């Protein structure tokens, strides 16, 4: 059984590249173009991991993560966040809403693949 990964980002090129790469790596990838679509995808069929961009129009990644954490049905799904911002306050905001990991853009696909794979390792800690 392959693991389902939801990728939420408002950049269609990034969505396509990440979805293609994770698909090649054997994951079942679901994509969403914004926070609202991401929340609908989570409600429809809870993924095993959510990759979420912080800066999106409408419901941003911070609020999306807050809503995921507030729902008992989805609160335990690991959330990895992307951000073009790397300031301490952004890292802290992501951690405060319950993100398990933060990756700064631009990022390397192989590095992203390693982080994703680590979430599915049997000895992975709950929070990073």
**Does residue 21 form part of some domain?**
yes
Residue reference for tokens 């698909």? 23
Determine the Cα–Cα distance for residues 28 and 123; give it in Å rounded to an integer: 22
**Does residue 61 form part of some domain?**
yes
Are 107 and 82 a contacting pair, CB within 8 Å? yes
Q: Cβ–Cβ contacts within 10 Å for residue 79, how many?
A: 24
Query: pLDDT tens digits, residue range 15-42?
Result: 999 999 999 999 999 999 999 999 999 9
**Does residue 123 form part of some domain?**
no
Q: Cβ–Cβ contacts within 10 Å for residue 83, how many?
A: 22
**Does residue 126 form part of some domain?**
no
**Does residue 69 form part of some domain?**
yes
CATH number where 96 lies: 3.40.50.2300
Residue 1 has pLDDT above 80, yes or no: no
**Does residue 127 form part of some domain?**
no
**Does residue 63 form part of some domain?**
yes
**The model's pTM:** 0.91
3-class secondary-structure state, position 95:
helix
Determine the Cα–Cα distance for residues 72 and 120; give it in Å rounded to an integer: 21
Determine the Cα–Cα distance for residues 123 and 15; give it in Å rounded to an integer: 29
Q: What is the DSSP letter of 80?
A: E
**Does residue 109 form part of some domain?**
yes
Query: pLDDT tens digits, residue range 50-106?
Result: 999 998 999 999 999 999 999 999 999 999 998 887 667 777 888 999 999 998 888
Residue 125 has pLDDT above 70, yes or no: no
Quote the domain boundaries for residue 48.
4-116
Query: How many domains, in total, are found in the chain?
Result: 1
């Amino acid at each position: 059984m392959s693991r389902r990964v939801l990728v939420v980002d408002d950049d269609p090129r990034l969505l396509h590249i990440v979805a293609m790469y994770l698909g090649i790596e054997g994951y079942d990838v679901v994509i969403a173009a914004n926070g609202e679509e991401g929340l609908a995808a989570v409600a429809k069929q809870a993924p095993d991991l959510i990759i979420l961009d912080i800066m999106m129009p409408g419901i941003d990644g911070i609020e999306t993560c807050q809503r995921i954490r507030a729902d008992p049905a989805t609160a335990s799904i690991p959330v990895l966040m992307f951000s073009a911002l790397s300031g301490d306050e952004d890292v802290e905001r992501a951690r405060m809403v319950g993100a398990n990991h933060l990756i700064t853009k631009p990022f390397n696909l192989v590095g992203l693949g390693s982080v994703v794979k680590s979430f599915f390792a049997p000895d992975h800690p709950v929070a990073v």
